[in-house]
Amino acid sequence: MQDIALLTLHHKQSAVEGPLREAGFSVTTVSGFDTDSLGTFTGSVPRQGTQLEAAGTKARLATELSGMRFGLGSEGSFGPDPYTGMLEWAREVLACYDAETKRWIYALAQGPETNYRQITVHRWEDAARFAHAIGFPEHGLIVGKPGQDGFDKDCQDLESLENRVRQVLAHGPVWLETDMRAHRNPTRMRMIERCAGLLSQRLACHCPACASYGFGEETPIAGAPCESCGLATLATMAKKISCDVCGHEQRVELVTSVPASRCNYCNP
C-alpha cells in the first residue's frame, strides 16, 4: 500500500478510500488547512482558476502539508448541463499529484445526478416544499447568503429550519440553496465515489511501453465517415490513449461510420 494524502474538511475520505484501496493506495486525511480558503460554493470566497487547476492545487498542497509522495484533491462544480442547458448538472474532478515525479493525474465524473438548486421564497410553505424536494434533512439546506442576517448552513431538522426561515421572513424574502459540501450532500458523495473509481482504474493501469502507473490519458479523434457518402464528419471515430511519461500512444477505434444525420454534406 502507498499512502496518499487527502486535503479535506468535508469527510470525503469515506467516498474515496474504498476505490483507491483497489489501486493500492491508503488514504490519510490532512487537517489543519481550510480548503474553503481556496473557494466555496456559497461564493463567500471566489475560486481561482479552472476546476482541474483547483483540484490539482489541493492535491499538491496535500503532499506539501503531509510530507507524503502522493496527494489527492477533490473539486466539484454544478450548473446547467452541457447539451441542452436545461438540466442541473454535476461535475466532480479528482486529482492525484505525485511529488516525486511531479505528475498530475485527473479523473472526471459527471451527470445529472444532483440536487443543485436555489430559490427565493416569500412564505414558509414554499420553503417547506423546497426542503422536501431537495431531500432535506439528509441533504443540507443553506438559508440566506454569507454576511446576511440569519445566514445559516447548520439547520439539522425541519423544526430548526422553520424557526430560522420564519425569523428571516419577518424582514423580507428568503434565499435558499442546497448545501453542496460533500458531507451534507449524499448525492454529491456518490458522484465523488464514482470519480474515485475512475481515478483508481487509471492509477492501476500501467503503460505497456515504460510501465509507468496512470496510463490512460484519452484524446478523441474526429473524422468518422458518413455511412451514406463516406466523407469524414466531425463525429468521434477513435480515441488516442497516451503515456505522459514516455509518449507511447495507442489508438482505439470506436466506430466505423456514423448516420447521415451527422454528416454536413448529406444533412447540412
* Strand blocks (E) in the chain: 2-7, 25-30, 70-80, 88-98, 103-111, 118-121, 141-143, 174-178, 217-222, 236-242, 249-253
Contact 212, 206 (CB under 8 A): yes
Can residue 108 be called a binding residue for Zn ion (CB under 5 A)? no
Can residue 229 be called a binding residue for Zn ion (CB under 5 A)? yes
Among 9, 45, 68, 266, binds Zn ion (CB under 5 A): 266
Can residue 210 be called a binding residue for Zn ion (CB under 5 A)? yes
- Please, what's the b/e burial string for 216-226 (b: 16 or more CB within 10 A of its CB; e: otherwise)? beeeeeeebbb
Contact 63, 5 (CB under 8 A): yes
Q: Which among 14-22, 58-66, 173-181, 240-248 is the span making contact with Zn ion, rule CB under 5 A? A: 240-248
Can residue 246 be called a binding residue for Zn ion (CB under 5 A)? yes
Can residue 30 be called a binding residue for Zn ion (CB under 5 A)? no
- CB 226 → Zn ion: shortest distance, Å? 3
Can residue 248 be called a binding residue for Zn ion (CB under 5 A)? yes
Q: What's the DSSP call for residue 224?
A: P
Can residue 226 be called a binding residue for Zn ion (CB under 5 A)? yes
What lies within 8 Å, CB to CB, of 204 at 6+ separation is: 22, 23, 24, 213
- CB 268 → Zn ion: shortest distance, Å? 10
Can residue 241 be called a binding residue for Zn ion (CB under 5 A)? no
Residues pairing with 168 in the sheet: none
Q: Is 120 left (phi over 0), alpha (psi -120 to 50) or beta?
A: beta
Can residue 207 be called a binding residue for Zn ion (CB under 5 A)? yes
Can residue 265 be called a binding residue for Zn ion (CB under 5 A)? yes
Q: Which is nearer to Zn ion, 35 or 233 (CB)?
A: 233
- CB 236 → Zn ion: shortest distance, Å? 16
Can residue 103 be called a binding residue for Zn ion (CB under 5 A)? no
Instruction: Name the residue type at position 17.
Output: E
Among 59, 155, 243, 258, binds Zn ion (CB under 5 A): 243
Q: Which is nearer to Zn ion, 29 or 212 (CB)?
A: 212
Can residue 174 be called a binding residue for Zn ion (CB under 5 A)? no
Q: How many residues make up the chain in this entry?
A: 268
What lies within 8 Å, CB to CB, of 236 at 6+ separation is: 220, 221, 222, 224, 254, 255
Among 169, 205, 209, 241, binds Zn ion (CB under 5 A): 209
Residue ranges that bind Zn ion, judged by CB under 5 A? 207, 209-210, 212, 226, 228-229, 243, 245-246, 248, 263, 265-266
